[in-house]
Amino acid sequence: MENLTLPELLGDTHVDEKTRERFSKDASSYRITPQIVIEPKNEADVIKTIEFARNAGLALTARSGGSGLSGAAIGPGIVLNFKKYMNRVLNVGEETVVQPGTVLDAFLKQMHDEYLMLPSVPSSSALCALGGNIGARSTGPRTARYGTIDTFVTSLRFVTARGEIIDTRETLPEYLEQGLRKIKQEYQNDQPSQAIINARPYIAGGYNIKALGKYENPAEMATHLMVSSVGTLGIVTEIRLKLLEHTPSLGTFVAHFRSIEEFAEAATRLKMLSPAALEFSDASCSKHVSGKILNYSDPSIVGTLIVEFDDSLQQADAGRSILEDYKLSQLWEIPSGSDDEAALWQDRRQILPSIWKYARQRGWGLPSIIDDIAIHLKDFSAVHRSIQELMKYLDLEISFFGHLGFGSIHARPYFNTTGQELIDQIMIVSSEAFNILRKYNGTLVGEHNAGRSRSVYLEPELGPAFTYMKKIKDLFDPDDILNPKTVFDTDPIFEHMDFSFQ
């Protein structure tokens, strides 16, 4: 480090311990202290940083909001933080253009004033920023009806590991264009790999291999491969989105169930109505949130469904009558635009922070290892039951919640051990959960995407289809400068874990 000449930038370069410490964590259970933190002011700073990283042999990790839950916004070399300066909305309209460090909540407020909506809003919207939303391919409750952020991305500007600017509105450089065409052709001739990719749940993570089949134009392919690549293919400097007209809720229901089987059946029936959102939490979560709707005293309740409709009043009526078929403990109907509606979603956003607090108060670890399960909705009961049995066997408490409308389950076991015993338990939980999910074509790499605790399972899950991820990485970043060890060649999952900050 002493012999390195730091790049001359318009933005800031930090090598002091305090700043490096601040950027040593994201919202996952990992901590890695970078050698340098750079806060670029413009694209030229990004290019200079990449050139510097290449020459110095340092890994480069992009970071926007730092709310990622897979340890993919931290790294040992340079952390490139976009939130401080590259945080402006450049255009609003037919095509909305935004810089990667723009905090999502601020962006949404501005869009709301224009009667526009981006429906993929993670519960971390106060913290996360658009660059990370692209990197992790964010979702939110309304992904159930409207899709992930990928649906709304029209094109991107990004800087490659070689330091070139790519604008996917334009023609790609020859090597990328030809390379992507070749990989696409191989994929299209490879029926077994296509079958594996197509059998995965809707929000299964890893690179978006489906883009190879879906898009003809290599520039479009590049756009949709960049989304969900956790900063390993290029560094995004500008995001262009096609937003929807704002659509308010026409009816939201909260149903407290006494039976998991009834709960799962109701979820499947409700999903057929195409609700805007279909969320769930179990009784364990509800003990820890504070509001009056998700927190209750009836001990017979096992789980809660939140379902929101925005298509028509008839759709909402059909949803109500499905819920009335069950022996519910309670059914709330939440008026659109009411204080209760705002309080409900605030409580929903508070589930993870509340269970973090519960674990912290007891000195327990809550590692982000099986918090990102994605399944096919029909398999909810079976997967839930199998994981509960595993927890019973290991004598561990667990909380479940998630965006059930698109098969997302956040499973959070509480670990009350330390040292080798803790490591052994973590390894058993993650490997057994992986085995359970394999039976149902589910995955441990879902909404929060690839990273230090689960990428190791991508190769056994994808089999021959994993080679396409490698080919794509080799095409974009053959020297593995961008965010190494987050998708390929990962360290053991307990390495760099640190629960002291949860």
The least distance separating ligand FAD from the CB of residue 100, rounded to whole angstroms, comes to 4
Choose which of 153, 289, 307, 352 interacts with ligand FAD (CB under 6 A): 352
Q: Which of residues 322-351 bind ligand FAD (CB under 6 A)?
A: none
Amino acid in the structure at residue 49: T
User: Residue 73 and residue 52: Cα distance in Å, rounded?
Assistant: 19
By the rule CB under 6 A, 179 interacts with ligand FAD: no
By the rule CB under 6 A, 67 interacts with ligand FAD: yes
Q: Which one of the spans 89-97, 137-145, 188-196, 460-468 is the region binding ligand FAD (CB under 6 A)?
A: 137-145
Pairing relation of β-strands 235-241 and 96-98? antiparallel
Q: Tell me the two tokens of residue 436.
A: 């359970």
User: Residue 377 and residue 127: Cα distance in Å, rounded?
Assistant: 29
Helix (H, G, I), strand (E, B) or coil at 435: helix
The least distance separating ligand FAD from the CB of residue 389, rounded to whole angstroms, comes to 27
Q: Which one of the spans 13-21, 69-77, 357-365, 456-464 is the region binding ligand FAD (CB under 6 A)?
A: 69-77
Task: Give me the residue label for tokens 């002493």.
Answer: 2
Our CB check for ligand FAD shows the closer of 316 and 373 to be 373
Q: Which one of the spans 107-115, 230-238, 272-280, 318-326 is the region binding ligand FAD (CB under 6 A)?
A: 230-238
Q: Are 275 and 357 in contact (CB under 8 A)?
A: no
- DSSP characters for 208-221? -THHHHH-SSHHHH
Q: Tell me the two tokens of residue 73.
A: 């916004």
Q: Which helix (H) or strand (E) holds 55?
A: helix 43-56
By the rule CB under 6 A, 28 interacts with ligand FAD: no
Contact residues for 111 (Cβ-Cβ < 8 A; gap 6+): 92, 96, 117, 118, 243, 246
The least distance separating ligand FAD from the CB of residue 102, rounded to whole angstroms, comes to 9
By C-alpha distance, which of 276, 173, 163 is closest to 222? 173
By the rule CB under 6 A, 132 interacts with ligand FAD: yes
By the rule CB under 6 A, 206 interacts with ligand FAD: no
Our CB check for ligand FAD shows the closer of 326 and 488 to be 488
The torsion region of residue 256 among left (phi > 0), alpha (psi -120 to 50) and beta comes to beta
By the rule CB under 6 A, 100 interacts with ligand FAD: yes
The least distance separating ligand FAD from the CB of residue 123, rounded to whole angstroms, comes to 4
CA–centroid distance for 177 within its chain: 28
Our CB check for ligand FAD shows the closer of 230 and 387 to be 230
DSSP conformation class of 94: S
Choose which of 13, 19, 29, 123 interacts with ligand FAD (CB under 6 A): 123
Q: Which of residues 411-470 bind ligand FAD (CB under 6 A)?
A: 447-448
Choose which of 37, 47, 53, 73 interacts with ligand FAD (CB under 6 A): 73
- Tell me the residue number closest to ligand FAD, measured at CB: 132
Q: Which one of the spans 64-72, 184-192, 308-316, 435-443 is the region binding ligand FAD (CB under 6 A)?
A: 64-72
User: Residue 363 and residue 353: Cα distance in Å, rounded?
Assistant: 15
Q: Which one of the spans 138-146, 163-171, 290-298, 377-385 is the region binding ligand FAD (CB under 6 A)?
A: 138-146
User: Residue 229 and residue 236: Cα distance in Å, rounded?
Assistant: 11
The least distance separating ligand FAD from the CB of residue 24, rounded to whole angstroms, comes to 13
Q: Which one of the spans 16-24, 130-138, 211-219, 303-311 is the region binding ligand FAD (CB under 6 A)?
A: 130-138
Q: Tell me the two tokens of residue 459.
A: 């190769």
DSSP conformation class of 150: G
Neighbours of 271 (CB within 10 A): 19
The residues that touch ligand FAD, with contacts defined as CB under 6 A, are 26-27, 61-69, 72-73, 82, 100, 122-124, 127-129, 131-133, 135-136, 138-140, 230-231, 235-236, 352-353, 447-448, 483
